[in-house]
Structure 1
Amino acid sequence: MDKKDCLTVNQLTRYIKRKFDFDPYLQKNLWIVGKLTNFKQRARHQYFSLKDDDAPEDQQAVIDAVMFGSDWEKVDFTPENGMEVILGGKVTVYERNGRYQFYVNRMLPVGVSAAQLAFQETYKKLKASGVFSHAQNPRPLNRFPKRIAIVTSNDGAVKHDMITRIRNNNPLAQVVFYPAQVQGERAAEDLARQIQRAGINGTFDTLIVARGGGSEEDLMPFNSEIVARAVAASPIPVISGVGHETDTTICDLAADYRAQVPGLAAEMATQLHLLDILTELQRARTQMANTIQNQLQQAQQQLQVLTSSYVFSQPARLYEGEQQHVDQLTEKLQQSMQWRLSQTSHDWQRLLDSLLLNAPANRLQQNRQQLTQLQQAMVHAMDKQLLSAGDRFKNLLSQLDSLSPLKVMARGYSYVTKEDNKVVASTSQLQPDEQVALHFSDGTAEAVIKKINKR
């Protein structure tokens, strides 16, 4: 067989990959279940295997799986080897090694129902789009609502229970029902339409969306995206009362307030009971009347005490003590003024004495005396300096005279010079028959060198 008629491994792998990639069943959001193996958590992308848990040991099929970082971040539990999980994704072929593998975009632990999967998908989508903002910042409810809209089933005990509670709490509030299907295929659209109608009306203070308890499937319309968006878009505050206390729907999360049961939603919409308000008003009226009566009695008693006091019977006694206090203050003021006057006079005399002491004539006389003393001291110092300088001069002159060459020559010494008046210090400077001059202390003599004798 010719080589050209054969497929390469790469060509065969690509062909098989195209078969996988264009298979509508394998490329849709496929769900498989099995036990995790070879799982070791990595920083970003996760690589592991999934094998059958129910098949015998020698017949357990294994498929490689990969989950990229963006999908792995959405996993809200910690997978472990041996754990049974449900994987959502698609199947394709990895060309490099020619092995088919499962690309995972969802991972759930076994035990999650289809309704729960749908709930999680819708919740994540709506949370990302900001549908649950009212629950985080709920709009305030009207404490005295005039009109209340209720979207619920037209049949059943829920409707009658809510009417009874609202009538007991606030008989003046008008209740308008918007009947809707609360379960079934068309329930979600019907609920959303009635919620929108109540909002468009524009005359309601509060909107209640309610339903009694039921299974997950029964409550699915209240977990739908269309209902959640209708609740979030409502122009009036929404109270959601769906199911029992343990049930939590997406409608609850999108509403401003959540009641555990429908009856509590009616209680929440009418927070203040009208009868309680009237009772409280009557109690406050009685209390205010009693308070006013007590205050009047106290005022009358105080008036009687004041009118019988000595202030009104003997008004002069009211200021006797003050008059005595004024006299004491007057006496203290006079003493203080006298002391201040004496002190001021003393300060004035002291300043006058200081002024006389520092008068210009006195200062001039003192300066003249000081100048005379300085002149005398300067003359005395100069005379002393001159005497001392004269003694030093005589002493130095005597020393200079004793060191004079003339003194030495007077003792019989002389020195020799040539015709150029240069002093002869050595015989090497002389020549025979050379004429020289001999210098004595009392004169000079001419001489001729006859002979030179060197040592």
Structure 2
Amino acid sequence: MSQPSFDFGAGDEPLDDAATPTFTVAELADAVNGALRRSFSDGVWVRGEIQGWNERGNHAYFTLADDTAGRQAVLRVQFFANARARLRPLLAKHRLRLSDGMKVRVFGHLDFFAPSGSLGLKLTDLDPRFTLGDLDQQRQLVLRRLAADGSLDANRRHRLSPVPLRIGVVASEGTAAWHDFHDELVRSGFAFHVVLADTRVQGPEAPRRVARAIGALARQAARSQLDAIVVIRGGGARNELATFDAELIARAVAGAPVPVLTGLGHEIDRSVADEVAHTSWKTPTACAAALVQAVAGYRQSTETCFAAIGRAAGASLGSAERTLGDQAHRMAR
């Protein structure tokens, strides 16, 4: 039986040479990392949106995304414990907390991770001014749109009831903000009737959920079941307050048929919701105290009126009694 043979050319020729080398995968990974270190030896600044924030122990991992039309791209970012500890004071100073949806400008060193074949950035620094600037820019755009169509002061045209006892509340049940607000009303001794629309007030879904909760309470108010709607949350990072810069929430506030009061727990910053609301307060407790004061003021004015009526009636009766006495005295003569 014959055996076929194959001619692969001269057997002494090398498979590759210095001009066209053949790499193993590991060698290629080393070559890529070497090229990255040479090209970006001092590190690189990159901007994008945080997606998929994930904490594992003291480390954090996320994807930095660029959704520019026709130029979609993502970069994996490693934010290791030592860098997080070093940057924590900087974030605290600017009241920022990294989370999904944030626009950031970060600095780090590129690394090709051979086991997964992926390019990543080891984050070592960030620029808080970039994030704050983006938040403010988005806020100003929303305010201009609201002002253009008259929504900015629409809710302030409603008159607050002189005795606002029926209150709809948008809050996250079980939080300190809710308990502070509720306890302040209870301590007053007044017969407040509170309807809670329990919802998340932070996170990517918060704007939609808060707006939906305001809408649900607004429908009750339209049936004359509520005197006012209150939107509250506790303090937190500046970017978490940005939830209440959402146009969706602002338009829900503007469209409510009763006054909307806010107590969003920020002593310094004002959100778009604060700007659109009938009245804004710095904290949930202050918001509740204002309602208590309004009811107490109504009671005081009512008691003052009753006292004045009593005095006037007493004076009138006294005068009538003297008149009758004088007439009786003349008749007795």
Q: TM (normalized to structure 2)?
A: 0.52
Greater fraction of residues in helix: 1
| 2:218 is aligned with 1:199 | yes
Match for residue 133 of structure 2 among 85, 89, 113: 113
Pairing of 1:303-452 with structure 2 (within 5 A): none
Residue deviations 1:211-268 (CA, integer Å, cap 9, x gap): 1222211101100111111111223221122232322100111222222322232233
What is the aligned partner in structure 1 of residue 147 from structure 2?
Answer: 127
| 2:272 is aligned with 1:223 | no
Distance of 1:125 and 1:287 partners within structure 2: 50
| 2:281 is aligned with 1:259 | yes
Amino acid in structure 2 at the alignment position of 1:161:
D
Alpha-carbon distance change, 298 to 263 in structure 1, aligned in 2, over 3 angstroms: same
Amino acid in structure 1 at the alignment position of 2:289:
E
**What's the offset of the Cα at 1:164?**
2.2
Aligned length in residues: 207
Match for residue 261 of structure 2 among 228, 232, 239: 239
Alpha-carbon distance change, 157 to 289 in structure 1, aligned in 2, over 3 angstroms: same
Alpha-carbon distance change, 175 to 292 in structure 1, aligned in 2, over 3 angstroms: same
Higher RCO structure, 1 or 2 (CA under 8 Å, sep 6+):
2
Alpha-carbon distance change, 127 to 170 in structure 1, aligned in 2, over 3 angstroms: farther
Alpha-carbon distance change, 278 to 187 in structure 1, aligned in 2, over 3 angstroms: closer
What is the aligned partner in structure 1 of residue 193 from structure 2?
Answer: 174
Distance of 1:257 and 1:171 partners within structure 2: 21
Amino acid in structure 1 at the alignment position of 2:231:
V
Distance of 1:25 and 1:298 partners within structure 2: 86
Helix, strand or coil for the counterpart of 1:218? helix
Distance of 1:291 and 1:180 partners within structure 2: 52
**What's the offset of the Cα at 1:191?**
0.8
Amino acid in structure 2 at the alignment position of 1:232:
A
| 2:168 is aligned with 1:149 | yes
Distance of 1:293 and 1:129 partners within structure 2: 56
Alpha-carbon distance change, 272 to 121 in structure 1, aligned in 2, over 3 angstroms: closer
Helix, strand or coil for the counterpart of 1:236? coil
Instruction: Give the conservation status (yes or no) of the 8 Å contact 1:166–1:266.
Output: yes
Instruction: Give the conservation status (yes or no) of the 8 Å contact 1:208–1:239.
Output: yes
Alpha-carbon distance change, 225 to 147 in structure 1, aligned in 2, over 3 angstroms: same
Alpha-carbon distance change, 166 to 293 in structure 1, aligned in 2, over 3 angstroms: same
Residue deviations 1:324-377 (CA, integer Å, cap 9, x gap): xxxxxxxxxxxxxxxxxxxxxxxxxxxxxxxxxxxxxxxxxxxxxxxxxxxxxx
Match for residue 182 of structure 2 among 129, 142, 163: 163
Alpha-carbon distance change, 25 to 200 in structure 1, aligned in 2, over 3 angstroms: closer
Helix, strand or coil for the counterpart of 1:176? strand
Distance of 1:172 and 1:146 partners within structure 2: 7
Instruction: Give the conservation status (yes or no) of the 8 Å contact 1:143–1:271.
Output: no
**What's the offset of the Cα at 1:185?**
1.1
Amino acid in structure 1 at the alignment position of 2:136:
Q
Helix, strand or coil for the counterpart of 2:169? strand
Distance of 2:258 and 2:300 partners within structure 1: 30
Amino acid in structure 1 at the alignment position of 2:150:
G
Instruction: Give the conservation status (yes or no) of the 8 Å contact 1:169–1:272.
Output: no
Alpha-carbon distance change, 295 to 163 in structure 1, aligned in 2, over 3 angstroms: same
Amino acid in structure 2 at the alignment position of 1:163:
H
Instruction: Give the conservation status (yes or no) of the 8 Å contact 2:162–2:298.
Output: no
Identity %: 25
Distance of 2:274 and 2:299 partners within structure 1: 33
Alpha-carbon distance change, 159 to 25 in structure 1, aligned in 2, over 3 angstroms: closer
Helix, strand or coil for the counterpart of 1:133? coil
Distance of 1:128 and 1:281 partners within structure 2: 42
Instruction: Give the conservation status (yes or no) of the 8 Å contact 1:240–1:255.
Output: yes
**Unpaired segments of 5 or more residues in structure 2?**
1-66, 72-128
Distance of 2:154 and 2:262 partners within structure 1: 12
Distance of 1:211 and 1:307 partners within structure 2: 71
Residue deviations 1:96-124 (CA, integer Å, cap 9, x gap): xxxxxxxxxxxxx9895221222122222
**What's the offset of the Cα at 1:140?**
0.4
Larger radius of gyration: 1
Instruction: Give the conservation status (yes or no) of the 8 Å contact 1:143–1:270.
Output: no
Distance of 1:124 and 1:282 partners within structure 2: 46
Distance of 2:264 and 2:276 partners within structure 1: 12
Amino acid in structure 1 at the alignment position of 2:255:
A
Amino acid in structure 1 at the alignment position of 2:142:
T
Instruction: Give the conservation status (yes or no) of the 8 Å contact 1:146–1:174.
Output: yes
Amino acid in structure 1 at the alignment position of 2:182:
I
Distance of 2:239 and 2:207 partners within structure 1: 12
Helix, strand or coil for the counterpart of 2:135? helix
Alpha-carbon distance change, 295 to 273 in structure 1, aligned in 2, over 3 angstroms: same
